[in-house]
Amino acid sequence: MKAQILLERLSVAGNTTKAARMAKYHKVARSYLGVRVPVITGLAREYWKESGGEGLISCCRMLWQTDIHEARILTGKLFDARKLTETGEVWQFINTVKEDFDAWAIADHLEKGAQQCLRADTGRLDKIEREWIAHPNFWVRRGALVYTLYLAKKGRDPERPLGWAATMVDDRQWFIQKAIGWWLRELSKHNPARVKAFLQAYSSRMKPFACREAAKYLSK
């Protein structure tokens, strides 16, 4: 299935009233069609069913270049709809389009695809460390934490992302502080001692709401 067909199906599923609400909510100047996320997810599944993933990256490039909100969301959903057997081109694509990140919805829908890439080759964490955590675009810095949330799960080694979070505690950007709190909250579900140690060391430099987020489950 070609990108043009996907765009046509997105357009048919659009709703002008919803599109106006979305534009107001996201506050980013781009085109909005007013398509619900479940519909976009369904289109991603249709793509894989009809094409088997043939031409995936070229399709994603075309969708992304339209700068249509739903087309960029669909890009992420295409990576998420199936387990990726080859992640090299996907990882290269994500590292290219990260320069365009300007909203949480766009960045977050690439999370599952990015995590597949990082799990397939842990050496790719080196690129995150070199190029993401000090990136001038705070959405990219945030992505370094959000895309490695799987390392906060039980049985994983959380120390590398925790080190990145420690370098970001003085960042006053709300979304960075939120991401730090989110990461710590997930880790606290099975490793409260490590989260308490992090907060003991850095809470005085974090925003209060981020500390509350991190400590959400500690009292329980």
Q: Rounded to a whole number, what is the largest CA-CA distance in the chain?
A: 54
Domain boundaries, the chain: 1-120, 135-220
* Domain range 135-220, its CATH number among 3.40.50.720, 1.10.10.60, 3.30.499.10, 1.25.40.290: 1.25.40.290
Residue 1 pLDDT: 65
87-113 average pLDDT score: 96
φ and ψ at residue 216, rounded to 5 degrees: -50, -40
Per-residue pLDDT tens for 162-211? Answer: 999 999 999 999 999 999 999 999 999 999 999 999 999 999 999 999 99
**Cα gap 165→162, rounded to integer Å:** 5
Position 64 pLDDT exceeds 90 = yes
Report how far apart, in Å, the C-alpha atoms of 147 and of each of 14, 29, 113, 183 are: 29, 25, 9, 10
Q: What is the pLDDT of residues 131-172, one digit of tens each?
A: 999 999 999 999 999 999 999 999 999 999 999 999 999 999
CATH number of the 1-120 domain: 1.25.10.90
Predicted TM-score (pTM) of the model is 0.92
Q: How far apart are CA 71 and CA 23, in angstroms?
A: 14
Polymer length in residues for the chain: 220
Top mean-pLDDT range of 53-57, 81-85, 129-133: 129-133
Write the DSSP symbol of residue 152: G
